[in-house]
């Protein structure tokens, strides 16, 4: 595969838009970083790797030289970008060569091959035993021995067949064990990642000198990423939610990343610079010959280059940098070996919160502890699993994702706060003399019991009745009167310790007599 590259100013122009964003996440070092250097921008589903190294060019002719870049098996050769300060990059040729495995992958390949050989040996020995067993099993068939030798054959068969059967059973156990060893080796090899083939880039640059030059190149890799994880600990007595955000870093790309400058990104930049055209909306006669669908391919995303930075190890959680469409966390120099997930703390905060028990009696009579958090500013938290705790005790796990400054977080049901829905009326009838109409009437009492030793704030939620036809009328009466928002009725009440509070709720609906009325509940 051959790709023609522009000059260095042209490359810089294409990269400037998104490279500037990542530069915000990585502080510029006061001195040039020692060569070679490696930086990794880790997305949830991959990574962008930037390398700076000095390499000796190989003169190709009087005006051109070449550089050879061996990329890992997990690299996408089409994503490669190259810059050589002071030289024009004339083109890049990508070839496929045999991959050089990392020491970890090489050791696992040798272990897998040894397990395969051991399994084949056991199976071969077992097959030979089965053949001998078949031979002895047929030794007594008519015509194979004389009647005079039958007794001797029978005695020898019992002796040898019994021994062979014991050997066969032992080999079967060895076969199962060898198969398990092979499966484990193949599983570990798959988790390390990599492959048999890898891209090799031949970079053509202007100039015929063989003096080593600084080369800056970057490429995308698969088989790695990170997942968000959270810990939400409700402390109702303190009016707090103790929040922790973590990142679980994973790498199964057969890359032995040691002391690389690592930055996390919450999303992969799209790379498109403008939205698609609005298009036209035409309503009219359908054409006789409708045109087929048009397939549109978006332009390939502009490559992101990580800026060099000389950062020390971080003990405090990294600071989140928010960009136009994603956030980044600069973790500094890190080791990320293959097949070994690593947890990194991104944030620990105490969130002031107001707590209440939420009850939705039409669906469930349990009372769920809920925290309403108001942050100082709008935040975005990428989706991840969250451990929910109350006063340090785990109550379960659930996906967590939030955008904005106001968050409502649930922490499971509280058995000491319960609700009871008491139906009082559910009947139908007819009314009117001139215009006959059908009627439906419902009435409930909702009783909330507080088994705690302190006051409990409770929010009772029930759907507000809505009509889907103007001929249907609905009237509701409640004591106390609820608030209505977004077609939901909410009663905010405080229940004293050991007390029971009640809500009385009635709904009347009328409709034409001939309408097939759906009561909705």
Q: Encoding tokens for residue 245?
A: 């955000």
CB 254 within 8 A of CB 101: yes
Would you say residue 129 lies in a domain? yes
The helix (H) or strand (E) run that includes residue 107 is: helix 103-137
Residue 518 pairs with which residues in a beta bridge? Answer: none
Distance CA 337, CA 105 (A): 11
Distance CA 372, CA 490 (A): 15
CB 260 within 8 A of CB 38: yes
- Kindly report the CATH number assigned to the domain that includes residue 447: 2.60.40
The residue among 299, 310, 248, 244 whose CA lies nearest residue 270 is: 299
User: How far apart, in Å, are the Cα atoms of 281 and each of 243, 278, 297, 514?
Assistant: 48, 9, 22, 41
Ramachandran region, residue 217 (left: φ > 0; alpha: ψ -120 to 50; beta: rest): beta
Would you say residue 255 lies in a domain? no
Which residues, including other chains, have CB under 8 Å from residue 281's CB and lie 6 or more apart?
Answer: none
Which domain range does residue 422 map to? Answer: 416-512
Q: In what order do the strands lie in the sheet with 89-98?
A: 2-4, 89-98, 197-206, 64-70, 58-59
Would you say residue 351 lies in a domain? no
- Domain edge (last residue) among 163, 192, 221: 192
The residue among 415, 371, 367 whose CA lies nearest residue 389 is: 371
CB 230 within 8 A of CB 262: no
Would you say residue 338 lies in a domain? no
Would you say residue 475 lies in a domain? yes
Residue 506 pairs with which residues in a beta bridge? Answer: 443, 477
Distance CA 513, CA 510 (A): 9
Longest dimension (CA), the chain: 116
Q: Encoding tokens for residue 228?
A: 């968000």
Q: Collapsing DSSP states into helix, strand and coil, what is residue 339?
A: coil
The predicted structure's pLDDT at residue 316: 72
3-state secondary structure 10-56: HHHHHHHHHHHHHHHHCCCCCCCCCCCEEEEEEECCEEEEEEEEEEC
Q: State if pTM tops 0.75.
A: no
The residue among 322, 390, 316, 301 whose CA lies nearest residue 347 is: 316
CB 97 within 8 A of CB 198: yes
Along the 521 residues of the chain, how does pLDDT read in single tens digits?
545 444 333 333 333 333 433 443 333 333 334 457 889 999 999 999 999 999 999 998 889 999 999 999 999 999 999 999 999 999 999 999 988 887 888 888 889 899 999 999 999 998 988 888 887 776 555 555 565 665 666 666 667 777 888 888 999 999 999 999 999 988 888 878 888 899 999 999 999 888 999 999 999 999 899 999 999 999 999 999 999 999 999 988 888 788 999 999 998 876 666 777 877 776 655 554 433 332 222 323 323 333 333 333 445 788 888 877 788 999 999 998 888 899 999 999 999 999 999 999 988 889 999 999 999 999 999 999 999 999 999 999 999 999 999 999 999 999 999 999 998 887 776 765 556 788 889 999 999 999 999 999 999 999 999 888 888 999 999 999 999 999 999 999 999 999 999 999 999 999 888 888 888 87
Would you say residue 132 lies in a domain? yes
The residue among 457, 427, 452 whose CA lies nearest residue 442 is: 427
The pairing of beta strand 37-43 with beta strand 46-55: antiparallel
CB 456 within 8 A of CB 493: no
- Domain edge (last residue) among 192, 214, 244: 192
- Domain edge (last residue) among 192, 209, 230: 192
Distance CA 150, CA 195 (A): 61
- The count of structural domains within the chain is 2
The predicted structure's pLDDT at residue 313: 42
Would you say residue 154 lies in a domain? yes
Q: Encoding tokens for residue 11?
A: 């490359």
């Amino acid at each position: 595969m051959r790709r023609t590259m522009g000059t260095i100013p042209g490359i810089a122009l294409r990269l400037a838009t998104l490279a500037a964003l990542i530069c915000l996440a990585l502080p510029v070092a006061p001195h040039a970083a020692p060569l070679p250097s490696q930086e990794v921008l880790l997305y949830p589903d991959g990574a962008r790797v930037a390398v700076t190294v000095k390499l000796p060019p190989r003169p190709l002719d009087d005006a051109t030289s070449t550089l050879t870049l061996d990329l890992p098996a997990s690299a996408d050769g089409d994503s490669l970008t190259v810059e050589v300060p002071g030289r024009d990059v004339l083109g890049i040729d990508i070839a496929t060569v045999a991959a050089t495995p990392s020491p970890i992958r090489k050791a696992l390949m040798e272990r897998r091959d040894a397990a395969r050989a051991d399994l084949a040996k056991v199976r071969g020995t077992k097959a030979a035993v089965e053949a001998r067993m078949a031979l002895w099993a047929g030794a007594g068939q008519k015509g194979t021995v004389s009647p005079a030798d039958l007794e001797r054959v029978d005695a020898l068969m019992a002796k040898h067949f019994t021994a062979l059967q014991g050997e066969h059973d032992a080999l079967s156990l060895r076969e199962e064990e060898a198969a398990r060893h092979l499966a484990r080796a193949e599983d570990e090899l798959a988790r390390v990642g990599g492959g048999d083939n890898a891209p090799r880039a031949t970079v053509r640059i202007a100039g015929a000198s063989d003096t080593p030059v600084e080369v800056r190149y970057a490429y995308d890799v698969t088989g790695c990423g990170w997942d968000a994880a959270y810990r939400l600990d409700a402390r109702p007595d303190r009016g707090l939610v103790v929040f922790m955000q973590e990142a679980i870093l994973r790498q199964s790309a057969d890359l032995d990343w040691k002391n690389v400058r690592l930055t996390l990104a919450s999303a992969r930049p799209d790379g498109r610079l403008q939205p698609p055209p609005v298009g036209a909306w035409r309503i009219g006669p359908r054409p006789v010959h409708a045109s087929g669908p048009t397939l549109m391919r978006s332009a390939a995303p502009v490559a992101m280059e990580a800026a060099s930075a000389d950062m020390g190890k971080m003990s405090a959680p990294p600071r989140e940098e928010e960009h136009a469409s994603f956030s980044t966390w600069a973790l500094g120099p890190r080791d990320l070996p293959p097949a070994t997930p690593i947890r990194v703390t991104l944030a620990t905060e105490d969130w002031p919160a107001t707590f209440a028990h939420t009850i939705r009696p039409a669906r469930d009579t349990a009372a769920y502890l809920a925290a309403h958090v108001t942050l100082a500013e709008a935040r975005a938290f990428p989706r991840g699993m969250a451990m929910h705790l109350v006063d340090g005790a785990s109550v379960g796990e659930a996906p967590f994702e939030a955008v904005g400054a106001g968050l409502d977080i649930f922490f499971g049901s509280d058995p000491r706060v319960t609700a009871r829905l008491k139906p009082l009326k559910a009947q139908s009838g007819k009314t009117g003399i001139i215009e006959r109409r059908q009627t439906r009437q419902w009435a409930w009492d909702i009783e909330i019991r507080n088994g705690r030793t302190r006051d409990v704030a409770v929010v009772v939620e029930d759907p507000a009745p809505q009509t889907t036809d103007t001929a249907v009328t609905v009237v509701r009466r409640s004591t106390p009167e609820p608030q209505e928002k977004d077609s939901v009725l909410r009663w905010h009440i405080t229940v004293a310790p050991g007390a029971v509070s009640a809500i009385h709720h009635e709904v009347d609906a009328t409709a034409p007599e001939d309408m097939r009325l759906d009561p909705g509940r």
